[in-house]
Amino acid sequence: MSDETDTGRYLRLTVELLVEVLDVDALQAAALAEIRDPQAELSDEERQEQIELVKTDETGAAALQWLIEPDHVLGLVEHVTEVEPREAVLGVEPSEGVLEDDDHDHDHDEPGHIH
């Protein structure tokens, strides 16, 4: 069993960002360049699999996911000296073009809430 002081030490930060893909071909080309870079530590099989994934995804989601560095996500809090980033998970998926407020209850008067 976990005691309450341990669970109170961690905060989950949820951020939603909607982007419009202006040029899916250019987005895919940029991602393919990253995948083909010898410093992308991929086996030949993994490299080919990722190339196919990016080429066949007409939305550009797979390409964008390749272009976002995990450090970019962790950088959201790097200036806050009172916290230590522990983990980041990033998902990119197609959208209808609007941010959805599914099951999230938001207090719009909370500090840091952007209107």
In a domain? residue 32: yes
pTM equals 0.71
Q: In whole angstroms, what is the distance from residue 64 CA to residue 30 CA? A: 9
Task: Assess if residue 66 is contained within a domain.
Answer: yes
Alpha carbon 91 to its chain centroid, in Å, reads 5
Would residue 47 count as lying in a domain?
yes
In a domain, 79, yes or no: yes
Predicted local distance difference test score (pLDDT) of residue 4: 52
Please report the pLDDT score of residue 34 as a whole number: 95
Per-residue pLDDT reduced to its tens digit, 80-114: 999 988 888 888 899 888 887 655 544 444 545 44
Confidence of residue 72 (pLDDT cuts 50, 70, 90): confident
User: 43 is in which domain, residue-wise?
Assistant: 22-92
Residue 15: which pLDDT band, with cuts at 50, 70 and 90?
Answer: confident
d(CA 33, CA 62): 13
Q: What are phi and psi of 22, to 5 degrees?
A: -85, -30
The count of domains in the chain is 1
pLDDT confidence of residue 16: 87
Residue 86 is assigned to a structural domain of this protein:
yes
Tens-digit pLDDT profile for residues 18-60: 999 999 999 999 999 999 999 989 999 999 999 999 999 999 9
pLDDT score at 71: 81
Question: What is the greatest pairwise CA distance in the chain?
Answer: 51
